[in-house]
Amino acid sequence: MHRIRALFSAESASANCRSIVRINPYYWRMPLIVSLGALGVFIWGARSAWAEVGSPQRPNIVFILADDLGYGDLPCYGRDDLSTPAIDRLAREGVRFTQAYANGPECTPTRAAFLTGRYQQRIGGLECAIGIGDVGRYDDAMRLALAGKLGLPTEETTIVSLLQNAGYDTVLFGKWHLGYASKFSPQRHGFRLSRYCLGGGMDYFYYTDTLGIYNLYENGELLWTKGYFTDLLADWAEAYLSTVGTRPFFLYLAFTAPHSPYQGPDDDPGHPLPGDSPLWDQGRSDPKVYCAMIERMDKAIARVLQSLDRHQLTDNTVVIFASDNGGTRSGRNAPLSGYKGSTQEGGIRVPAIVRWPGHVPPGTTSDQVCITMDFSASIIRLSGAPLPRGCTLDGLDVIALLESGTPPVPRTLFWRARRGDSTWWAVRDSDTKYWRHQKGEKMEEHLFDLASDPSESHDLLPAQPDRAAVLRKMLARWEEQVKPRR
């Protein structure tokens, strides 16, 4: 039996998710069959296969997020000048997505969407990466920063808190970037244990940012240690996995690689990197250093996978790998156009892989269009965690589609990203994509058929103005639906 949850839009109402349930036909254009037969509406709670909190069948979940990794930055996605055997193993033993997207073209927005399972626009202030030192980078973010409210508020229900309430052990090792103030710390959002980089970019050896501020924390307190940060994440994960016992766990492993500063594992300068070092420039990495950073991340992932094997956890663990946005000019997004920060395909389409032995078909690719918050919906379903009354998710349970072997279903997805006086929009409806960019008074817009033109080389807007008008209206309606209340 294939179980799928209806996708809903949410308008402010409840205190936690601040939403009321209403079917939104734009999110997933497929008729709902109210039946528990071959294709049915997935029912949360008691009818879930994992509904009983004490069920030994509930899988462990490891969510691995790379930072600024481009769509074409891995051998299993076409790159031939570096080696990533661990990620290749995940692809060989799981499903590799060809049309996976990040919720945003920058770090903070995607992480906010993943943890809430909802469009980040609903939160307010998080449509752009939070600036070093707690700086808002567009008008709404600036307003919230001045009020001391720039970050992921505890009023938002996170999938982590739901997992914790359902009996999961919840752990974060890696990048946070969802608020500098202690009231936004990971432990306030459901993580029992968190060791993390507070902001957007951090020296891999001395853990300082471009302002010289120390960035490494454990459960809200400064953490003093030594080591290459990518290696530290593997150390912590290995140690943790040796202690998990029989309790189901959720491990969020959020690498900072290959985000700047561009420092390979052998590049310790002997002192903290100054803020004016060219190594911070996201668009000018030494290609050899960039490759070394990805390969070291892969070795860290290999250690995690080997630890799962060693402790006989592999068969009952779902491993999800993705990137938080497209690559910078230092990386590769081939064959896509554009880079991090834009809603062109290269800014938002990302590598993504799911491995779950015995449940998803190994060694396969999926053309299913999906987005970061879809994995959030899958995680909640797999955990059996009930949603609070009135709380809805914006994503589709994409792992359920893989389990059932359902052919790709059409999707309608939306993006908006803001920084300064620049705003990027996009909507993908089935295979048609419309994107628009406005900077100051200058505006451009384009229309593409991604099925035949994934590189966005042939603008269809002049020939199909009516189709573009429809997508503009859909985008405007979505913007009204996701307006924040803070």
The structural domains of the chain, ordered by start, are 56-413 (3.40.720.10), 415-481 (3.30.1120.10)
Positive or negative torsion for Cα 80, 84, 90, 93: positive
User: CB–CB of 207/214 below 8 Å?
Assistant: yes
Q: How far is Cα 185 from Cα 115, in angstroms, rounded to an integer?
A: 13
Of the candidates 5, 28, 259, 254, the one whose C-alpha atom is nearest the C-alpha of residue 132 is: 259
Q: With beta carbons less than 8 A apart as the criterion, state whether 428 and 411 touch.
A: yes
Evaluated on CA atoms 238, 242, 248, 249, the torsion sign reads negative
pLDDT at 279: 98
CA distances from 179 to 141, 182, 242, 392 (A): 11, 8, 31, 24
Residue 457 token pair: 């080389």
CA 105 from centre of chain? 10
pTM surpassing 0.85?
yes
Residues of the chain with pLDDT under 70: 1-56
Q: Note whether 65 and 312 are within 8 A (CB).
A: no
Q: Which two tokens stand for residue 311?
A: 């402790």
Strand partners, 246: none
Task: Give which of 431, 443, 441, 260 is closest to 345, Cα–Cα.
Answer: 431
Judge whether 281 and 201 are in contact, CB under 8 Å.
no
Reply yes or no: is the peptide bond before residue 105 cis, omega within 30 of 0. Answer: no
CA-closest candidate to residue 352, choices 11, 2, 71? 71
The closest of 214, 206, 159 to 186, measured between CA atoms, is 159
| Locus of tokens 């628009």 | 436
pLDDT value, residue 17 = 54
Residues 6+ apart with CB under 8 A from 43: 3, 36
Query: b or e along 128-156 (b: 16 or more beta carbons within 10 Å of the residue's beta carbon)?
Result: bbbbbebebbbebbeebbeeebbbbbeeb
Tokens linked to 68: 């600024």
